[in-house]
Amino acid sequence: MRGMAENPSPPFFVSTFSKLPESLFRAAEPKRVASPKAILLNNVLAAKIGISAQWLHSTEALHALVGNQALPEVPRIAMAYAGHQFGNFVPSLGDGRAVLLGEINGFDLHLKGSGRTAFSRGGDGRATLSAMLREYIMSEAMAALDIPTTRSLAVIGTGEGVPRERMERGAVLTRVAKSHVRVGTFQYLAARGEEATMQALVDHELAKNFPDAPEGAGRFIWFLRQVIARQATLIAKWMCVGFIHGVMNTDNMQVAGETIDYGPCAFMDAFDPQKTFSSIDHTGRYAWDKQPVIALWNLTRLAEALLPLFASETNAAITLAEAELKNFMLHFETAFEAGMAAKLGFAEIREGDADFIALTLQNMANSKADFTTFFSTLTEAVKLDNDKKIVHFFNNANAATQWLESWRKRLSSLSLNRMKTANPNFIPRNHRVEEALAAANIDDLKPLHRLLKVLSKPFEKHEGDEELALPPKPDEEVLQTFCGT
């Protein structure tokens, strides 16, 4: 990590969210820390959003990104929202350990782990170094896989302990997002009967993240339509890389269409459609194959909150909302089939492909094939014209022969380039993430940087780092993940 530079001129930050009605936020004063230290600084992301590396590495940035000082002319606020958590509605949640620092070029900067706020409800408002590094790893891996996601600009160590099951090191993450407005934000306003504020919030999101929005009363149902389409595509992209979010509560669904809140999330190793990782998901509510259904459930809650904006008569508003919600599964299935077809090497979708995709997944489930390695090996099999590389992923030789014959017949319009960009060699394997976090906690950042290097270019080979692509051995497998709060 480079040393801190002298203070250059800071980037120009604004705060459009703080111009909205005050019920949407509370003023926040992060807890000062005495000895902040930069652990990770994301120069590539900084350049993308218009922050200079000189400022990012400055002493001023260090103190701003740990919460010690505010940015010039920009108020720090904690955002209000409600949410259904595992199906149970909580009318007031909000940023209990996070602060909206400001916005630059349309991107929010949000501090996570910066101390108690008006919404903390008994929590300490802090975050552990392990949890913040984990979010950095996962979000940056998702970005490299071309999956819409919030990203991580910095992890700053606080130099202070955080009590969890044991005392852990503290840290603050700077999260970058198109928006931090969630389904739960609209639920919060609906529960309070704040229709005018809800209208203002929709208009804020339309101006910030939906540039093609129409004018007039029809913009509200149009907004719902766009959120539905973005979420359907997002969930399909998750599932095409074996990603399981883990806590798809309505307060963890961002309306701009990015993946947000990396808690007990994980990428599958051995394929199991009912796979969960979260230590608190006892019923499998957020399993891999349940994610589309849960997304639709969440979007239905959004539609309910927005009903008063659709039409003055309730039944008319419900009819409009239902017509939009019916399109979710069609959007999802189209996006998922297109993604899986690319993974299989098909240049386009044809009749019968949905059945073949289902057959492929069933064979993988039967043999517990490693999700990522199956498809990366399939890409190699095409390049080398060698089917033997894929046979061992099946339960028996007969199943392999039948599947390969059907697949080869379907490859009449092969798209190898699509396969190469749909089938990563590297994902953040759970055991490798845990290995990097354990080392970081004893001041060894080499495994972390090695892992981040391959994850930044997941479709490449990375000579010398091939072991990071391998599935875990039985004694390395991570069976549960935790939210870190």
Say if residue 3's pLDDT is above 90: no
Q: How many Cα atoms occupy the beta-carbon half-sphere of 398 within 13 Å?
A: 0
For residue 64, CA distances in Å to 42, 110, 279, 423, 482 come to: 15, 11, 34, 39, 28
pLDDT of residue 5: 54
Residues 6 or more apart whose Cβ sits within 8 Å of residue 299: 183, 224, 227, 228, 231, 253, 325, 328
473 neighbors 458 (Cβ within 8 angstroms): no
Residue 442 CA to residue 129 CA, distance in Å, equals 11
What's the pLDDT band for 8 if we cut at 50, 70, 90? confident
Q: What is the mean pLDDT of residues 13-42?
A: 97
185 neighbors 25 (Cβ within 8 angstroms): no
pLDDT, one tens digit per residue, over 65-119 is: 999 999 988 999 999 999 999 999 999 999 999 999 999 999 999 999 999 999 9
Residue 369 CA to residue 446 CA, distance in Å, equals 30
What's the pLDDT band for 133 if we cut at 50, 70, 90? very high
What 3-state DSSP class applies to 154? strand
Q: Compute the Cα dihedral for 465, 468, 470, 475 and give only its sign.
A: positive
pLDDT, one tens digit per residue, over 148-178 is: 999 999 999 999 999 998 999 999 999 999 9
Q: What is the mean pLDDT of residues 317-333?
A: 98
pLDDT of residue 254: 98
Query: What percentage of residues in the chain have a pLDDT greater than 90?
Result: 88
Residues 6 or more apart whose Cβ sits within 8 Å of residue 178: 106, 107, 108, 208, 209, 254, 256, 257, 258
Q: Domain spans of the chain?
A: 17-177, 346-414
What 3-state DSSP class applies to 180? coil
- Give the residue numbers marked as catalytic: 251
Burial status of residue 51 (CB atoms within 10 A of its CB: 0-12, 13-18, 19 or more): buried
pLDDT of residue 409: 87
Say if residue 227's pLDDT is above 70: yes
pLDDT of residue 189: 98
DSSP codes of every residue in 372-396: HHHHHHHHHHHHHT-THHHHTTSSS
Say if residue 17's pLDDT is above 90: yes
pLDDT, one tens digit per residue, over 326-354 is: 999 999 999 999 999 999 999 889 999 99
DSSP codes of every residue in 325-370: HTTHHHHHHHHHHHHHHHHHTBSS--TTHHHHHHHHHHHHHHHT-B
Say if residue 322's pLDDT is above 90: yes
What 3-state DSSP class applies to 86? coil
pLDDT, one tens digit per residue, over 364-410 is: 999 999 999 999 999 998 887 788 889 999 999 999 999 999 998 88
pLDDT, one tens digit per residue, over 231-280 is: 999 999 999 999 999 999 999 999 999 999 998 999 999 999 999 988 88
Q: What is the mean pLDDT of the chain?
A: 95
Question: What pTM did the predictor assign?
Answer: 0.95
Please report where in the chains the tokens 């595509």 appear, as a residue. 233
Give me the torsion for CA of 132, 134, 135, 136, rounded to 10°: 90
Residue 80 CA to residue 187 CA, distance in Å, equals 10
pLDDT of residue 94: 97
Is the model more confident about 413 or about 213? 213
Q: What is the mean pLDDT of residues 356-366?
A: 97
pLDDT of residue 484: 61
423 neighbors 360 (Cβ within 8 angstroms): no
Nearest by Cα to 95 from 234, 260, 235, 218: 260
pLDDT of residue 385: 79
pLDDT, one tens digit per residue, over 399-448 is: 999 999 999 888 876 778 889 999 999 999 999 999 999 999 999 999 99
